[in-house]
Amino acid sequence: FTGSAFGSAAIWQYESLKSRVQTYFEEARTDWMDKMRPQKRGDFRKQVNSWWNNLTEGQRTVTGIIAANVFVFCLWRLPGMRRIMFTYFTSNPSSRAVCSPMLLSTFSHFSLFHMAANMYVLWSFSSSIVSLLGCEQFIAVYLSAGVISTFVSYVAKMATGRFEPSLGA
């Protein structure tokens, strides 16, 4: 999984750089058209765009991860989703589904305080780590760390003989 994550990140990074170079040249050609276009209306949209544009690249990257974690947290609150959540969003080496929960449990939190604390820490160091690695490599590290830590949890559960499900990485 880790090799695939980093290989995909390298391809994504290449394609992103290629796209930025193409966009730069296209914007240079069509810059004069922006002055002729009518401005879009809506104060809310302007506020959201202003907020988004003031974020660092790391904060923008982590915003997607935080959104995924909040979405999964909300799914835990739906009674009809409990069976699916226990099957695919908790890690347990004795479960029928062993591989997909290794990744999906990375986004799973049952306690609001636990999720908020994790997301705050992620947000706080996101700018520096993404500026060091790039957003593509950071996502590969994040996903790989989640899968590897779940694997270590599987090994510890097998060694101790305790097979209860757990959340998170």
pLDDT of residue 86: 87
Determine the longest span between alpha carbons in the chain, in angstroms: 69
Domain count of the fold of the chain? 1
DSSP letter at 105? G
Distance CA 150, CA 144 (A): 10
Determine contact, residues 115/69, Cβ cutoff 8 Å.
yes
pLDDT at 165 over 60: yes
- For residue 69, being part of any structural domain is answered with no
- Amino acid identity of 62? V
Q: Would you give the end-to-end CA distance of the chain in angstroms?
A: 15
> Which bin fits 42, alpha (ψ -120 to 50), beta or left (φ > 0)?
left
pLDDT at 35 over 60: no
- As to burial, measured by CB atoms within 10 angstroms (0-12 exposed, 13-18 middle, 19+ buried), residue 122 is middle
Determine contact, residues 106/72, Cβ cutoff 8 Å.
no
pLDDT of residue 92: 83
pLDDT at 37 over 70: no
pLDDT at 16 over 80: yes
- For residue 147, being part of any structural domain is answered with yes
Angle at 19 between CA 14 and CA 130, to 5 degrees: 55
Host domain of residue 125: 110-160
The band of 78, judged by pLDDT with boundaries at 50, 70 and 90, is very high
- For residue 168, being part of any structural domain is answered with no
Decide: pTM greater than 0.85. no
Give, for 72, the enclosing helix (H) or strand (E): helix 57-76
Helices (H) and strands (E) in the chain, counts: 7, 0
Share of the chain above pLDDT 70, in %: 90
The region of weakest confidence among 4-18, 31-45, 118-132, 150-164 is 31-45
pLDDT of residue 32: 56
- For residue 132, being part of any structural domain is answered with yes
- For residue 115, being part of any structural domain is answered with yes
The region of weakest confidence among 36-40, 70-74, 159-163 is 36-40
pLDDT at 31 over 80: no
pLDDT of residue 53: 85
pLDDT of residue 119: 92
pLDDT at 2 over 80: yes
- For residue 31, being part of any structural domain is answered with no
pLDDT of residue 62: 92
Determine contact, residues 55/131, Cβ cutoff 8 Å.
no
CA of 121: how far to CAs of 111, 116, 125, 127, in Å? 16, 9, 7, 11
- For residue 130, being part of any structural domain is answered with yes
- For residue 35, being part of any structural domain is answered with no
Q: How confident is the prediction for the chain on average, in pLDDT?
A: 85
